[in-house]
Amino acid sequence: MSSVDKDQYRVAREPYYQPQGNEVALYEAAYRNRLPVMVKGPTGCGKSRFVEYMAWKLGKPLITVACNEDMTASDLVGRYLLEANGTRWLDGPLTTAARIGAICYLDEIVEARQDTTVVIHPLTDHRRTLPLDKKGELIEAHPDFQLVISYNPGYQSLMKDLKQSTKQRFTAFDFDYPEAELETIILAKETGLDEATAGKLVKIGQTARNLKGHGLDEGISTRLLVYASTLIKDGIDPHDACRMALVRPITDDADIRETLDHAIDATFA
């Protein structure tokens, strides 16, 4: 039995999440059967919020790991620490989740090195085990444990993609930005902004998304639209809020900026 306090990992308050389809019911079915889940979609479309919401709805602890290219297997699993009285083993987040029965969420999994992600394989099949080679211990995952990963397929490359041997261990959701009407509701509910103004922001967001592949690597995310809504709700002029939250973060290209600035001026004329 782990001595870790589960409550420190629980989602205390209900996160606002607006379903786009039947993803909540599908996730609940995956969790009931302890199937690993992969969530794919563009930056800022609500992947992490969805996982957080599901952890809250299911009443399960959530341990989130923001993956990066410097992350090693030891960062996930654990390591020995040198102390004055000798060495002490410290569990990594994946090990902690497996011990206490948490949902372990590996955000942007493709950012991690492939030799690091291999350590998750025994947890994603019938074995549901995690070998701690350095410690000589084999952990059997808690019955409540579930592994969830996410990534943005738009940034895939030969160097940054999951191996088929990893992909085919997961069930998967495809996420995208919400339809205009739903996205407007999300902005209004999330920030308290009136729906008329929120609808104008969504229109600007759609304009930018249409430029993806034509000068923009990625369109304006729902997250950035929430930022703009927050600034406007705080009294910032919509033109300034949109330039600050929607245009300047996504591009340094003068022509693209001018195109989007014109769209902002036309929308908030």
1, pLDDT greater than 50: no
CB-CB contact of 189 with 230 (8 Å): no
Three-state SS string over 157-221 comes to CCCCCCCHHHHCCCEEEECCCCCHHHHHHHHHHHHCCCHHHHHHHHHHHHHHHCCECCCECCCCC
CA dihedral 74, 76, 78, 79 (to 10 degrees): 20
pLDDT tens digits, one per residue of 193-242: 999 999 999 999 999 999 888 888 888 999 999 999 999 999 999 999 99
**Alpha carbon distance 73, 113 (integer Å):** 9
- Among 108-122, 128-142, 195-209, the minimum mean pLDDT is found in 108-122
CA dihedral 146, 79, 118, 132 (to 10 degrees): -70
Cα Dmax for the chain: 69
Q: How far apart are CA 148 and CA 7, in angstroms?
A: 20
| Nearest residue to 99 via CA among 152, 138, 64 | 138
112-136 mean pLDDT: 91
Please tell me the predicted confidence (pLDDT) of residue 159.
54
Residue 163: count of CB within 10 angstroms of its CB: 11
What is the per-residue pLDDT across 37-61, written as a single tens digit (0 to 9) for each? 999 999 899 999 999 999 999 999 9
Q: State pLDDT tens for residues 239-261.
A: 999 999 999 999 999 999 999 99
Q: What are phi and psi of 82, to 5 degrees?
A: -85, 125
Give the rounded distance of the alpha carbon of 197 from its chain centre. 27
pLDDT computed for residue 269 by the predictor: 87
The pLDDT value given to residue 47: 96
Q: Where are the beta strands (DSSP E) in the chain?
A: 37-40, 62-66, 78-83, 86-91, 103-107, 129-132, 137-140, 146-151, 171-174
Judge whether 170 and 125 are in contact, CB under 8 Å: no
CA dist 227 and 229 (Å) reads: 5
pLDDT value of residue 156:
52
- Is residue 9 over pLDDT 70? yes
Lowest mean pLDDT among 27-41, 132-146, 202-216: 202-216
Residue 83 has pLDDT above 50, yes or no: yes
- Position 264, amino acid: I
**Closest alpha carbon to 41 in 105, 141, 123, 108:** 108
| 27: nearest Cα among 38, 13, 18 | 38
Average pLDDT over residues 25-45: 96
Model pLDDT, residue 158 = 45
Pick from 146, 117, 174: nearest CA to 58: 146
Least confident of 69-83, 121-135, 152-166: 152-166
Average pLDDT, rounded, for the chain: 93
Q: Is the pLDDT confidence value at 177 over 70?
A: yes
